[in-house]
Structure 1
């Protein structure tokens, strides 16, 4: 009977040790599948990096999903190897355990490549004061705003010390 208990204890201990050694693939969803993302993609020496235009953060691109389609588009785009290419994709950002160390890393998984823009970059960050600056409407719903001749351009100025805004909506002052 002692041999059976001893064997059962050994089996339980071995199972416990092997389970604790196995790395779990825990992942946290940062952006859900199908999220539209636009940014700069770079591929160099089997390393793919995506720089998000929304916040300037860079993420490694996981070589799964529709990654191979993105890599082909990059290689056929005509840009210099290692240079950045603006892309629009549907994908997801997942936080996964890093290959080395005990840290997690956020990675982009490409669900669908929507478009590439070889001649575009992320819009530069504007450094202007919020108050006292002439803010002109230049784009609305993704389309350029063109002011017709004889009309005032749509704009506004925020006045900090007066807690008000003034400007023109195109045909009326406010």
Structure 2
């Protein structure tokens, strides 16, 4: 555990975090980031964390991306409601956290994570 300046906390208390095996919540939340679709695979780079996640297949996202983007494979800013799900990876035997769209999809080529 680190303090606000990033230095380790000197304490006799146990600050170790343990992972839990509980399912991810399915409550939709507003997400903002860049969406890229290419070769039947979609990824979403979250503005808040900078982490890139695979996106569960969604025809509305594919169609919105096609309308908003002139050049396939280039990222487009996206705001939408979504939740996370743990799903099998494209690599056999692995699982991954994916973004599952829940609606209110809005693509905007004029925006980015730095100016939304």
**TM-score, structure 2 normalization:** 0.72
- Shift of residue 104, structure 1, vs aligned partner: 1.9
* More helix as a share of residues: 1
Match of 1:51 in 2: 45
Q: Which structure is higher in RCO with an 8 Å CA cutoff and minimum separation 6?
A: 2
Query: Please, which runs of 5 or more residues in structure 2 have no aligned partner?
Result: 1-21
Match of 1:28 in 2: 23
Q: Deviations over 1:67-101 (max 9, x none)?
A: 21111010011431100000111011112232434
The Cα RMSD (Å) is: 2.4
**TM-score, structure 1 normalization:** 0.50
- Shift of residue 35, structure 1, vs aligned partner: 0.9
- Shift of residue 49, structure 1, vs aligned partner: 0.4
2:79 aligned with 1:88: yes
Equivalent-residue separation in structure 2 for 1:88 and 1:78 (angstroms): 15
Q: Is the CA contact (8 Å cut-off) linking 1:33 and 1:90 kept in structure 2?
A: no
Equivalent-residue separation in structure 1 for 2:41 and 2:77 (angstroms): 17
Equivalent-residue separation in structure 2 for 1:82 and 1:118 (angstroms): 13
Match of 1:153 in 2: none
Q: CA 1:102 to 1:90, structure 2 compared with 1: closer, same or farther past 3 Å?
A: same
Which structure is larger by alpha-carbon Rg, 1 or 2? 1
